[in-house]
Structure 1
Amino acid sequence: MIKISADQISRNLGSSYYLLLGSDPYLQYYAQTQLKDAFKKLGFDEQLDFNINNQTDWANIYDSCQAMSLFSSKTLICLDVGEGGLNAGITTRLNTLSEVLAPDVALIICLNKITKLQENANWYKTLSNKLVIVNCTTPDTLQLPQWIKNHLQQKQITIESEAIELLCYYYEGNLLALTQTIEQLNLLYPNQTITYNLAENNINDSSIFTAYHLIDAMVSLKTKRTTHILQQLKINDFEPLILLRIIQRELILIINLKKALQQKSLKQVFDEYKIWQHKRTIYANYLNRFDIKNLFNLLAKLTEIEISLKYDNQIQIWNAMSSLSMQFMGLDKC
């Protein structure tokens, strides 16, 4: 089994089986396109795409894996499991599929995520010796600068480091818009280094965030990033009540951590509440900065906002959310 990033596909061709793992639409499309083109050059002229769900005709897929095509001796089958993910029924079908694959059949499976338990399935073990796993997960804020540099190197485009920082800020979470903007900059300014000013004149804020990006920013006490994420969540019509619920769950977790620390060590508490290793320093810093009274006051304010939202849909909810986020970071905002 080989694990690679999507931009390494061109250097890892030759396997019969690929698992595209991750939910980034651009990376999934890019990886599929690269692989299908490569298989086409290898004589896989028949390429069949199947969207996998509970209504999928698996008999047709099995037949495609076994029957010799009238038009081609080699067949590529692409299975897109989609957002529904693996369930017991699909796993059973994949187990059967792995047993009937003919030697001249190649397989691409597109999947948002797979658990450790699901990796124990027969299909995964059967294919593993020849399986290439392609990471199609959207780069996070720490990974994005290097991803952009790799992309620019492939395209032979030169951009100032300050311009790369600008692209990271305005296109985080949206690789499709990011790559389109890079292509546009290259067309506008061919054969020259793209400066910060040139980039600034040709960009729009197209970043895409989730509520969990907001949580991480607030717990990390990153004021500018928190404000930016809130702004984008508002623009993209994120449901405020859902956002409040997620913040509430995080706040209750932090309160429970703070209370538990009165009797146990930091490591014991983090182990008990299953706090990821890479987040423990951030949580430790936050817990050291705020006392239990601050946290309960914050929870009370959150409750007030939720009550107001339920009884008055005209409330300036995003202003209230901004104030809440500032209080969360110890920067009370009137």
Structure 2
Amino acid sequence: MIKINADQITTKLGSPYYLLLGNDPYLQYYSQSQLKTAFKQAGFNEQLTFSIDNQTDWQPIYDCCHAMNLFSTNTLIFLDFGENTINTATSSKLNSLSEILNPDIALIISLTKITKTQENAVWYKKLSDNLVVVNCTTPDTALLPQWIKNHLQQKQIVVEPEAIDLLCYYYEGNLLALTQIIEQLKLLYTNQTITYDQVESNINDSAIFTPYHWIDAMVAHKTKRATHILQQLKMNDFEPLILLRIIQRELILIINLKKGLSSKPLKQTFDEYKIWQNKRAMYTNYLNRNDIKDLFSTLALLTEIEISLKHDNQLRVWDALSALTMQFMGLNKC
């Protein structure tokens, strides 16, 4: 088995089986396009797509593995699960499919995610020797700069380093818009180094964020990023009450962590509350910066905002959320 990122797919063409994992629409589309073109060039002229859900009739899929086409014996089967996951029933169907695959059949499976249990399934183990697993997950804030650099290199475009940071800021989470602006810049500034000012004059704010990006930015004390994300959530008409619920859960978690540290070692406390390893340093720094009184004060402010919102829908709730953001990060303390 080989595991690669989507932008490496052109270096790993030629395998009969591919598993595209992740829910980034651009990376899924890019990977599928590259593979379908490569398989067509390899003589797989018959390319059949099946959308998979609990109602799918698998018999036509099985028939493809037995039938001989008059014009081509090579067939590419593409199984698109969309947002659906593999359950016991579909895993059993995949097991049966894996038993009848032959050298004239290539297979692409598109999934948003796969569990450890599914990686132990018969079909996964059966394919694994010839399987390429392609990571189609949207690059996070730490990985995005390198992704942009790789993409620019592939397109033979040179951009000033500061301009890459600008692209990250405005297009995080939206690779489709990001690749489109890069193509636009390539057309506008052919065969030249693209400057920060040239990028700035052509961009628009197309970043896609979730409330959890906002939470992480606040915990990491990234003021500019937290403010930017909150503005994007506002522009996308995100429900303020849901944001309040999410930050309430986060505050209660942090308060419990702070209380736990008074009587237990840090690792034990983190283990108890199932804090991911890659976030422990961030939480440690936050807990060291804020005392329990400040945390309760922030929780009290959150409660006031929620009560006011429920009594007055015209409340300037986004201004209140901005103030809450600052207080959460230890700024503008009451």
- The secondary structure found in structure 1 opposite 2:81 is strand
Report the residue type matching 1:119 in the other structure.
Answer: E
Q: Distance in 2 between matches of 1:236 and 1:79?
A: 32
314-323 vs 188-197, greater mean Cα deviation: 314-323
Deviation at 1:333, TM superposition (A): 7.4
CA distance in 2 between counterparts of 1:111 and 1:233 reads: 27
Query: Percent identity of the aligned residues?
Result: 74
What does 1:170-189 correspond to in 2, within 5 Å?
A: 170-189=170-189
Q: Deviations over 1:189-245 (max 9, x none)?
A: 111111111111111011111111111100001100000000111111222222222
Q: Give the structure 1 partner of residue 270 of structure 2.
A: 270
- Residue 128 of structure 1 corresponds to 128
Asked if the contact 2:159/2:195 (under 8 Å) is kept, the reply is yes
The residue aligned with 1:222 is: 222
**2:86 corresponding residue in structure 1:** 86
The worse-fitting range, judged by mean Cα deviation, of 76-85 and 41-50 is 76-85
Alignment correspondent of 2:23: 23
TM-score using structure 2 length: 0.97
Q: Deviation of residue 103 (structure 1)?
A: 2.2
CA displacement 1:281-307 (0-9 Å, x = unmatched): 111111111111221222222222223
Provide the residue aligned with 2:139 in structure 1. Answer: 139
CA contact (8 A) 2:294 2:333 kept: no
Instruction: Tell me, in whole angstroms, the C-alpha distance in 2 between the residues paired with 1:268 and 1:278.
Output: 16
* Partners of 1:207 and 1:232 within 8 A in 2: yes
Q: 1:50 & 1:56 partners in 2: Cα distance?
A: 9
Please give the alpha-carbon distance, in whole angstroms, between the structure 1 residues aligned to 2:325 and 2:110.
37
1:176-215 to 2 correspondences below 5 Å: 176-215=176-215
Q: Residue 312 and residue 64 in structure 1: after superposition, are their counterparts in 2 closer, same or farther (change >3 A)?
A: farther
Name the CA distance, whole Å, in 2 between partners of 1:75 and 1:61: 11
Q: CA RMSD, aligned part only?
A: 1.3
- Structure 1: which 5+ runs fail to align? none
Counterpart Cα distance in 2 of 1:260 and 1:294: 16
One-letter amino acid of the structure 2 residue matched with residue 42 of structure 1: A
Deviation at 1:6, TM superposition (A): 0.8
- Counterpart residue type for residue 35 of structure 1: L
Paired residue for 2:37?
Answer: 37
Structure 1 residue 4: Cα displacement? 0.5
Call closer, same or farther: CA 1:85–1:302 in 2, change over 3 Å: same
- Counterpart amino acid of residue 71 in structure 1: F
Asked if structure 2 preserves the Cα contact closer than 8 Å seen for 1:17 and 1:132, the reply is yes
Task: Name the residue aligned to 2:239.
Answer: 239
**Secondary structure in structure 1 of the residue aligned to 2:310:** helix
Aligned to 1:298: 298
SS of 2:221's equivalent?
coil
1:45-56 to 2 correspondence within 5 Å? 45-56=45-56
**1:316 and 2:290 aligned:** no
Q: What secondary structure, in the 3-state scheme, does the structure 2 residue paired with 1:7 have?
A: helix
Q: Which residue of structure 1 aligns with residue 153 of structure 2?
A: 153
Provide the C-alpha distance between the structure 2 equivalents of 1:69 and 1:314, rounded to a whole number of angstroms.
Answer: 65
Contact 2:46 2:74 in 1 (8 A): yes
Partner secondary structure for residue 233 of structure 2: helix
In the TM superposition, what is the alpha-carbon distance from 1:176 to its structure 2 partner? 0.4
Quick one: which amino acid aligns to residue 94 of structure 2? L
The Cα offsets for residues 36-84 of structure 1, whole Å up to 9 and x where unpaired, read as: 0000000000111111112212111111222222332111111111112
CA distance in 1, matches of 2:159, 2:95: 47
The answer to whether the 8 Å contact 1:298/1:328 transfers is yes
Aligned partner of 2:250 in structure 1 is 250
- Residues in 1 aligned to 2:300 and 2:89: alpha-carbon distance in whole angstroms: 45
May I ask how many residue pairs the two structures share in their alignment? 334
